[in-house]
Each structure stands twice: as structure tokens, then as C-alpha cells.
Amino acid sequence: MADLFKILTLREKKAVVEKGGGDAAIEKQVAMGKLPARERILSLLDKNSFHEYDMFVKHDGRDFGMDKKDFPGDGVVTGTGTIFGAPVCIYAQDFTVAGGSLGLQHARKITKIMDHALKMKCPIIGINDSGGARIQEGVSALAGYGEIFYRNTIASGVIPQISLILGPCAGGAVYSPALTDFVFVVENISKMFITGPNVIKTVLGEDISMEDLGGARVHAEITGNAHFYAVSEKECFEQVKRLVQFIPWNNSERAKKIKSKEPKTKLNIEDIVPSDPKQPYDVRDVIKCIVDDSDFLEIQELWAANIVIGFGRMAGETVGFVANQPMVLAGVLDCDSADKAARFIRFCDAFNIPIITLEDMPGYLPGVDQEHAGVIRHGAKVLYAYSEATVSKITVILRKAYGGGYIAMNSRHLGADFMFAWPSAEIAVMGPEGAANIIFRKEIMEAEDEDKMRQEKVKEYIEKFANPYVAASKGFIDSVIEPKETRSLILHALQLSVLKEENRPEKKHGIPPF
């Protein structure tokens, strides 16, 4: 029965590796609200679908007594599985083993599964929970990071890349998630920064906690490094699974089609947008009136909330939404919202997801801080992303479309395939007050009652220009539509553009203003 003996030996060896850093370390991990690495993977994948690779890989540290130490799996679990039937490659750093520190073999396990994902053309999911580079391995650890970043870049736009930050992710390690498409963070668990609070304190004397410097909330709300924010790991896993259902497996596929459902919201699309252009509303209510089942997956909900981005479905097929949000900062474009929209547009274009733009914005945010923060450079990203995109591009102008913002928000001039405007649309070179002050400057200055004349001229301008018909008369808008026709006309546009083909001059790659 030599065979049985060998099988039992295998089982024993596997059991040792599966124990990771041992019971005490796992207990500590669980006490922090964190699951052990393998359990995290099992929570994400379909039942019984996980197949683990490279369990018996050994680290090759030789210095500082490392040769006498054994790290099960070298601190990272890698493998393949499925999520709702979609194949994925996955890895999870194991904090219980040497603090999840990254040595050369640890990195090689990761790069191997990344190469596999790129060859199999399926999404790659990385779970980050690591103290950082294994200092004892010196430059080999750095080599490991570099080889991961290189693959993140090569895979970019070919397969979807998803990062979960479920523990510390500091120093060089942060750049792998930063290069991926979607980053998930969890309250009190995720910590991301280049230099930690201790270094900042000693160097600059600035006192800040880890949470305030690079906690989940900070990355979801202030830095924009994170795309999804959850309060528990369980919620985070649900978010990941939901996202995976919306996106295709790779750039030569379309996202899986599901059964079409009518919007279920009780809201009436005609009642949401106030006719007074000064009144705010929640543009997500409009989206809910348009998408299948009123089901909208918002991305980067907390950061740059003056623009809304996310996925929904139309006739069962995934679409991306980009919408100005009048409820926040009056819906202006600024550095952050431009950055947010541009990256999302490029994701949609890379993965064959049509883009629907809902426009209601007063223009770019004025201010010294914006100008000095490079709003020109950031704003240009939106122009670049829309112009570059060859997927179906549909715009609905709900209300205000002024100035540079009108051009930027997927105008006809940047290659929109379908331009719709509601009767409430105001498409003009700038807001009526500003325009009247310039055009009728002389009349206003010479009038006996300047204010009265100004008001008259503003009114005159509104009547003449604050409508969709001037743009429509030049063919910049294809049709002025009733709000209640919006869903059916978008469906029509999508149906018509299924076979859309648009070619660009051959080039190695463009040079977007990032």
C-alpha cells in the first residue's frame, strides 16, 4: 500500500501549508475582523471551484538566519476558480506567515498566476495583506515588486484587474493596486500609504494616525485611490462579486448578457430634474429611471461626488454611466472629477462597454487652488478619454451644458454617436448671467438703471439661447426628446450600434495627459 502512504504524506504536507502561520497567528488575524487568506479566497469564489497552485514553494532567503526558517506557501496563496461561473485567477497574501512579507518566491507565485490570467484571458484578483518587502531578502524583494508592476501594466486593458486591500499595503506595495482597475477597501482594515505615520512624524513633525493618513475612508473619499468602500470583509466580497458580474472576462469579449428587466423605481423621470437651473437634485434618480431593474453599481461613490460613474444594464447588457451630479459642488468639472471620469471612460472603452453620458453642469470650477492644482491638465483627460473611445457613445443633455463643459461631456464634436437633449436643455457658450454681461456690456453700462437693464438682457439671452434648439439647428444635437422617451431611445441607440466600427490611425499608443 505504498500508494496510500504517499497520498497520506501529500495530505499531511498540504495540511501543514494550509495552517499558514499557525493557530495563534490566525486567531490574532480573526480578532481584527480579518479572515485568513484561504478563507478569503473561498468566500469570493463559487463553492468547490478553488484550485490552489504552488503550495510547496519555498523562499530562498539565505542571509540573517532566514535559511533556517520555513514559511508555508511563502506567505501567499495563489490559484484559480470561478465567480458566478466566470473564470478568475486569484492570489491572497497571508499575513499570518512572516507578516505576508514579499520575498522573491512570494512574488514569483504572484507573477506566475498573473501570467496565467493573461494567457487564459480571465480577470485577476489580488488580495493585499502584507507588511511590505521582506527586508532580509534585500534587492530580491524589490525585484519581486517590479515584476508584479510590469505585469499589471502589460495586462492593463486586456483583462480586468481587481485589488482588495485587506490589511496593510505600504511602501512600494501600493503601486500594484494603483495600476489595477478597481481597488476595494474595508473600514478599519485597509491601510495604504507610501510612507507611514512614524516617518512623517520624524521627518516633518506632523502627527497623524494610520487611519487618518491612509485608512479606508481616506482612500475612498479624499485620495480617490479606492473604488469601493465596505464596512466589513463580507460586504467587500459581495461588492467584488457584483462587479465581476458587470464586466467582461477580457477585452475581446462583451460582458455577459442577462435577462432584461424594466426599471422598477417608483420615481417618474419627468419629476426629477427641476426646471429652475439653480435647483439641485440627485442625478442617480435619473439613472434609476433608465437602467434595467433600476440596478446601478456606483463606483467611487464618495470621491469627487460631483460626477457619478458606474455600471448598469440596458436590455440585459452592461453599459457605463458618466453623469454630472448637481447635488454636489453644483456638478462642476474639477481636477478630481475629470480624473475620475476619464479613467472610467477608458476602462469602458477597453472592455467594450458602451458609455452613456448624462449632462447637467455649469462648467469648470473656478479658483486659484484648481488652476494651481492643474485643472487644465486634469480636465484634458476627459477630452482625451472621450475622443479616444470607439465604443458606442451616447449623450443625453438633461439641463445645463455650458462652455468647456459642453464640449467635454461627450459632445458631438468629440465623436458622440447619439446626441439627445431634453427640452429643458440649455446649451450655450456660458451661463446667461455671464454671457449677458459681456454681450450687452455697453447697453447695461449706459442704461439709467443698470440692474434693470441687466435683468432684461439676461432674460433676452435666456429666451434666445438657453435652450436646445440653437445646437439642434446646427445638427450638434440629433434630436430633442421628451424625458419619458429617454430609456427607449437609448435602447434604440444601443441596438443600432451593436456592430459599430470606428478606426483610429495606427500607433504604438497615444500620450494622454496623465
Partner 1 sequence: MAKKNEKNEEYVDFVVTARKYKTLLTKKYENRSKWHKPVPGEVLSNLPGTVMEIKVKEGAKVKAGQLLLIHEAMKMLNRIVAPVDGTVTAIHVKKGEQIKKDHLMLTIKPN
Is 327 a residue that touches partner 1 (CB under 8 A)? Answer: yes
**Among candidates 65, 52, 61, 68, which has minimal Cα distance to 13?**
52
Angstrom distances, CA of residue 432 to CA of 101, 426, 467 = 59, 9, 11
Is 223 a residue that touches partner 1 (CB under 8 A)? Answer: no
Identity at 425, one-letter amino acid code? A
CB of 279 to partner 1, least distance (A): 6
Exactly one of 195, 223, 479, 488 binds partner 1 (CB under 8 A); that residue is: 195
> x/- contact string, 417-456, with partner 1 (CB under 8 A)?
--------------x-x-----------------------
Is 7 a residue that touches partner 1 (CB under 8 A)? Answer: no
CB of 505 to partner 1, least distance (A): 37
As a whole number of angstroms, the distance between CA 167 and CA 185 comes to 9
Is 36 a residue that touches partner 1 (CB under 8 A)? Answer: no
Is 501 a residue that touches partner 1 (CB under 8 A)? Answer: no
As a whole number of angstroms, the distance between CA 238 and CA 251 comes to 24
Q: Closer CB to partner 1, residue 158 or residue 208?
A: 208
CB of 332 to partner 1, least distance (A): 6
- Buried b / exposed e across 278-308, counting CB within 10 Å, b at 16+? eeebebbbbbbbbbbbbbbbbbbbebbbbbb
CB of 329 to partner 1, least distance (A): 6
CB of 323 to partner 1, least distance (A): 15
The strands making up 124-128's β-sheet, listed across from edge to edge, are 51-53, 76-83, 86-93, 124-128, 161-165, 182-186, 228-230
Spell out the residues 6+ positions from residue 238 whose beta carbon is closer than 8 angstroms to its own: none
As a whole number of angstroms, the distance between CA 288 and CA 313 comes to 11
Is 330 a residue that touches partner 1 (CB under 8 A)? Answer: yes
Q: Closer CB to partner 1, residue 366 or residue 423?
A: 366
Site residue total, partner 1 (CB under 8 A): 24
Other CB atoms within a 10 A radius of the CB of residue 103 amount to: 26
As a whole number of angstroms, the distance between CA 241 and CA 297 comes to 12
Is 308 a residue that touches partner 1 (CB under 8 A)? Answer: no
Is 458 a residue that touches partner 1 (CB under 8 A)? Answer: no
Identity at 30, one-letter amino acid code? V
CB of 425 to partner 1, least distance (A): 16
As a whole number of angstroms, the distance between CA 309 and CA 301 comes to 8
CB of 203 to partner 1, least distance (A): 4
Q: Under the rule (CB under 8 A), what is the footprint of partner 1?
A: 195, 199, 202-203, 206, 208, 212, 277-280, 326-327, 329-332, 362-363, 365, 367, 369, 431, 433
